[in-house]
Every structure is written in structure tokens, then in C-alpha cells.
Amino acid sequence: MCGIVGYVGKQQAYPILIKGLHRLEYRGYDSAGLALINANDELNVYKTKGKVVNLEHFVEGKDSTGCIGIAHTRWATHGEPSQINAHPHYSKTKNIALIHNGIIENYADLKKKLQAKGIEFVSDTDTEVLVHLIEYIYQRDKSNMVTAVQVALNQVIGAYAIAIIDRNNPETLIVARKSSPLVIGIGDGEFFLASDASPIVEYTKQMIFLDNDEIAVINLKSGVKVKKLNNVEVTPEIKEVMLDVGQLEKGGYPHFMLKEIFEQPECLINCMKGRVNVDLNDVKLAAIIDNKQTLLNANRIVILACGTSWHSGLIGKYLIETFCKIPVDVEYASEFRYRNSVISPNDVVIAISQSGETADTLAAIELAREKGAFVYGICNAVGSSIPRVTHTGSYIHVGPEIGVASTKAFTGQVTVLTMFALALAKAKNIIEHDKFLEMIKELSLIPDKIREVLKHNDKIADLAKIFTYARNFIYLGRGYCFPVALEGALKLKEISYIHAEGYPAAEMKHGPIALIDEEMPVVFIATQNSLYEKVVSNMQEVKARKGRIIAIVNKGDHKLQELADYCIEVPATVDSLEPLITSIPMQLLAYHIAVCKGKNVDQPRNLAKSVTVE
């Protein structure tokens, strides 16, 4: 979590840093700060509690000049969100300022040692330890700053992306990373720095993605030099990043989340482009073609993910077990990494992550690799960490997702998992030809069917007004739509702060039914699939207890229109593709309820888009 931006060049750094922080606010937004070295080599640090806009107000009228600077937007881990705990942190002499994304696990120990040397701490953060440690080593060893950073980082346990500026060296940024991401942009006589490519892309497409245990010295005159923490020099690979600035803007929508919900038809077309071929009746994923034998030999597939990605993983299990007849386990990455998970070289692990940076998922991948498993990544963020540590994988190609609550990344992940299941089933020769053709045809129709659902946006907005009173919600579904119920409940919790539970509809009678009264809204995913009649029976049970039913139904389902209090119609498709359609009204309902309640839907409290801490 936390976003990092940096600049050194000929331009004034302040506007570049502020714009960059806005782009990275999805990573954290409880406080923000920046440090600039002006033409007199004075180092000014400004920071405030709250969002980047508060920082802008705070800096008004103050000296914001300087062609070198670093900036930070925080998501608190150690120490409450406050001005004092915001980054950058000064060193004792105030010659150095440092920003950090990650967690220093042995900070308490290091802090004690530094305090014993007479160093006073002003904040409650783990980060402040770093800046004092670096300066202490620098003064003690009378070395240069880069060596001091190296020596300090070798004493640190934990995760970090850091950036440092030093007023005695006003043309140099020193940066380093371990586990938290860091990207360097190479412009024409200027250099940029950020936690991801989004703040850099409008200035240059040439980027270096720093690797773990690497430290980079970015000097205005001599450029970028990279070495490992053990001092071995490395030649950095410069990549060209094709990201459209337009994709990062709201494009006329009031929120990124709504824009991203509406983008889904286009996104899924992009996701399937070159992969699903209706004319040739084929589905191809390069990663399956390249690793066919390994995948065919899989005894078992283990899906690892967190949050919304875990929900898409659960749909993946249903798809892969149905079509490929391979047993699939779906695990929270955070649980997998700390229990005695049994993994063998004949297992294939699928790691799913929108950001490609989730700390628990990364650690789980590392563990699976150590045990010999082959790891397949499903990610959205190109150039992020997970695609670099997996053996192979497929990008979902839905474009940058800025709203913290995941929408288009979810449907993109489910689409890739569908293509995965179909392509592997075909490679295994266990799917009937007609079924395969039906699936391809139906899959290609999904974007248009989502467009139809989006036409109900206004109706769902009206419905949302009725339910702003609610303090609880229950979401129920069966089969492929059970994970959709989980995801619908998660969306509502995340952005409206209404407590919501997702359940398999039949499980309701084993507990949640006790909660149902005339106040309780119950959302049913009740499309006419093979479990339809069973879901209708569950609905009757809720009706008998006077629950208020909102049902997602297929067009023209008059029976349910009578039974439910409110219905949202969606087009029919095959059972296995229903999540792609039925998750859309879930997203819209959560969005509109949160808007009615006046919540910040794009940046909900306490959450962050990229969770780089465990």
C-alpha cells in the first residue's frame, strides 16, 4: 500500500509530484506529503493528514520550488494517520528525506538501538527508523550515501520500496525495493519514479521495473545505475510501456467505479481478442499452448488469491472441474502460506491478482515454487511483480482499474478462467464438440448481454434509494452463482459500509434464516439455470418470513416477478457463464447504494487497491 512518486530533471517537480500522487491515491489516502530541494539547496518537507488535495492546500503560499522531489500517499500500518506519521520523514540533521511503501518488521529492535545512540524519534512509524539508520551509518562510516543505504537495508527485515533525497546531493534520487513495487521512467534529461507506471506514462514510455533487492541511483547527469544490495552491478532492462493516459481519466463518469462497470463489454472483448475465435470455433491461450504437457499432467490445480480475485478463483474451480475434470482447491493466499499446505511438483498453481502486487499472493507463489509446483499467473497490471515470478500466465487486458472496489478486473479474471478451462478441456480431448461450440458462441455474446444489463442502471439507482436504510444484507446464490453472491456482498460492504453476507442459498436454513424479518433485504440470484427450482424454494422460505426480496431473474420470468419484491432482469446464458452477467447488477446495486449514502465509492475508508503488506 502507499504510493510513491519522484522526479529529477529540469522542470519544476511540484506539479509532477502532485499529479502523480493523485494517480496513486488508490493505493492509500489517509495522509500525504512531499519533499523538495530548492535552488538554494534547502530541503522542504510538507505533509498533511487526509487526501492529496489537503496537501495542495497546505503547500499554498509556501516554497514549492525545486527540480528534484519525492512524494507519498499513505495507507497507515504503524502509527495512526496523522501529519507527524505522514511521509517523508527527515533524518536527524534534516539533510535527508525518505518515503517508504511496505513494512519494516524489525523496526522496534532497530529503533531501540538508534535511541540508545541518542537519536530521537518524532513519529510512531516503522519508516522513520530507516532514515535515521541510513544517516547514522553514513556519519559513522564516513561513506557515501549509496553505501550507507546498502548497509542499512542489509540490516532490515521486511518489505520496502524507498526513495531518498539528500540536500548535499541535489541532483540524485536513491531508490531501492524489496517486495514492494517501484518503476523508474526515463525521459529526455529527466527521470521519474513511481509505485506503478500510471504517474509516469504521460511523460515517457521507457521504464525500468526495479527487481527485488535492487538499489538504483538516479542522477540528472549520469542517468540510472542499478546494483544489487550485495553490490553486484546489474544492467537494467528498459521496457516500453503502452498505457493510454485516457484510460486513467474518468471520461465523463462521476466515479471511476461506474466508468469501470460500464467499460466491461469493451474490456471483455479486449480480453478475448485473439483468443476466442468464433469463425474457427477455437479458444487459444498462448500459455496453455506453450505449457500443454505440464498442464495436461496436472494431478490437481490449486488456485491462490485474495479478496475479489478469490471469488473469481472459486468460479474458476467450478469451471475447471466441470470442463477439465481436474480437482481444484481454492485457497486464500494468506492461509495457504502459513498453514502446512501440501503441494507437490505435479500440482499446478493458478495465482490470480488484479494488481499483481498483493503481498500474500506473492509469498504464496514463492512457497508453491519452492515445493516444485508450476505456477500460472492471471493478472491485470502489466509489468507488476506476480507475472515476473510465475512460470507462465495470461493477462486479463481490461486496462487500469482505479476504483478500489474491483469490477472489470473480476469479470476479466472470470473470462480468462473460462478460456483456460475450455482450452485445457479441448487439449485433454474431454469436452464434447457441440458443448465446446456452444460455449464459444455464448462466450462471444457475453459483451452484448452485459450491455443489456447496463441499460437497467437507472432502475437499479431507483432501487438503491429504497435500501439505504438497511444495516444488513443477505446475498444468496447456488452453483456458479454462489461466488457471485459472495462477490455481491463484498462489493456492498466495501463501498457502502453496510454489513452483508453472501451464502449458498441452501445453507441459509443452517443459520442466516434466523436473521430474516421484514427489515432484512435478501438478494437472490435466481436465473433459470439447472438449480432454478431449488433457488425458488429458498426464496419461498424467505418470503414466508417476510424478508424483502430483490431477485436477479431472467427476462420474462413472471413467476418470480410475483414472488420477489423487486426484480432486475438479465439475459439468459449457459449456467457456467452466468457469473459474467449476474455480477453486473450486483456491482451497480452496491455502487448506487453507496452513492445514495454519500460514501466515497472510489476510495472507501480503510481499504486500498494494492495490498503490499500482509
Distance in angstroms (rounded) separating the CA atoms of residues 289 and 274: 14
Q: Is 111 an active-site residue?
A: no
Contact 56/101 with Cβ under 8 angstroms? no
**404 touches ligand G6P (CB under 6 A):** yes
Q: Which amino acid is at 528?
A: Q
Distance in angstroms (rounded) separating the CA atoms of residues 238 and 254: 36
> Which one of the listed residues 2, 67, 267, 306 is annotated catalytic?
2
365 or 568: CB nearest ligand G6P: 365
355 or 573: CB nearest ligand G6P: 355
Which residues within the stretch 246-265 sit at the binding site for ligand G6P (CB under 6 A)? Answer: none
Query: What DSSP character marks residue 432?
Result: -
552-591 mask for ligand G6P (x: CB under 6 A)?
A: ----------------------------------------
Q: How far is the CB of 379 from ligand G6P (least distance, A)?
A: 8
**195 touches ligand G6P (CB under 6 A):** no
Which residues within the stretch 105-124 sit at the binding site for ligand G6P (CB under 6 A)? Answer: none
Q: How far is the CB of 261 from ligand G6P (least distance, A)?
A: 14
- Residue 233: is it exposed, middle or buried by C-beta count within 10 angstroms (0-12/13-18/19+)? exposed
With contacts defined by CB under 6 A, name the span among 241-249, 255-263, 351-359, 568-576 that binds ligand G6P. 351-359
Distance in angstroms (rounded) separating the CA atoms of residues 600 and 533: 39
CA distances from 205 to 113, 135, 185, 583 (A): 43, 34, 7, 35
Contact 374/404 with Cβ under 8 angstroms? no
Question: What are residue 193's DSSP bridge partners?
Answer: 6, 184
195 or 308: CB nearest ligand G6P: 308
392: enclosing H helix or E strand: strand 392-395
- Residue 294: is it exposed, middle or buried by C-beta count within 10 angstroms (0-12/13-18/19+)? middle
> Which residues touch 63 (CB under 8 Å, ≥6 apart)?
36, 38, 42, 44
Q: What's the first-to-final CA gap in the chain, in angstroms?
A: 10
> Which one of the listed residues 111, 426, 599, 609 is annotated catalytic?
609
Q: How far is the CB of 542 from ligand G6P (least distance, A)?
A: 29
204 or 361: CB nearest ligand G6P: 361
Task: Tell me, by CB under 6 A, how many residues bind ligand G6P.
Answer: 15
Q: Is 609 an active-site residue?
A: yes
With contacts defined by CB under 6 A, name the span among 204-212, 264-272, 288-296, 304-312 that binds ligand G6P. 304-312
Q: How far is the CB of 591 from ligand G6P (least distance, A)?
A: 14
Among 354, 527, 576, 582, binds ligand G6P (CB under 6 A): 354
With contacts defined by CB under 6 A, name the span among 32-40, 52-60, 349-357, 577-585 that binds ligand G6P. 349-357
**204 touches ligand G6P (CB under 6 A):** no
347: enclosing H helix or E strand: strand 347-353
Which residues within the stretch 406-425 sit at the binding site for ligand G6P (CB under 6 A)? Answer: 406
Q: How far is the CB of 354 from ligand G6P (least distance, A)?
A: 4
Distance in angstroms (rounded) separating the CA atoms of residues 183 and 576: 39
**358 touches ligand G6P (CB under 6 A):** yes
Among 173, 611, 612, 613, binds ligand G6P (CB under 6 A): 611
State the CB neighbour count (10 A cutoff) for residue 172.
19
Among 150, 264, 353, 390, binds ligand G6P (CB under 6 A): 353
**307 touches ligand G6P (CB under 6 A):** yes
150 or 354: CB nearest ligand G6P: 354
Distance in angstroms (rounded) separating the CA atoms of residues 327 and 392: 20
State the CB neighbour count (10 A cutoff) for residue 119.
17
Among 467, 607, 612, 613, binds ligand G6P (CB under 6 A): 607
**483 touches ligand G6P (CB under 6 A):** no
Q: Are strands 276-277 and 282-283 parallel, antiparallel or unpaired?
A: antiparallel
**609 touches ligand G6P (CB under 6 A):** yes
Residue with the CB atom nearest ligand G6P in the bound state: 307
Among 31, 123, 355, 612, binds ligand G6P (CB under 6 A): 355
**308 touches ligand G6P (CB under 6 A):** yes
Classify 96 as helix, strand or coil. strand
360-399 mask for ligand G6P (x: CB under 6 A)?
A: -x--------------------------------------
- Within 13 Å and on the Cβ side, how many CA atoms surround 484? 29
Q: How far is the CB of 115 from ligand G6P (least distance, A)?
A: 35
165 or 314: CB nearest ligand G6P: 314
Q: How far is the CB of 604 from ligand G6P (least distance, A)?
A: 8
Q: SS3 for 164-177, per residue?
A: EEECCCCCEEEEEE
Distance in angstroms (rounded) separating the CA atoms of residues 58 and 49: 10
406 or 415: CB nearest ligand G6P: 406
Q: Cell for 297?
A: 499432467
Q: How far is the CB of 263 from ligand G6P (least distance, A)?
A: 16
Q: SS3 for 193-255, per residue?
A: EECCCCCCCCCCCEEEECCCCEEEEEECCCEEEEEECCCCEECCCEEECCCCHHHHCCCCCCC
Q: How far is the CB of 95 from ligand G6P (least distance, A)?
A: 37
**306 touches ligand G6P (CB under 6 A):** yes
Residues contributing to the site for ligand G6P (CB under 6 A): 306-309, 353-355, 358, 361, 404-406, 607, 609, 611
- Catalytic positions are 2, 609
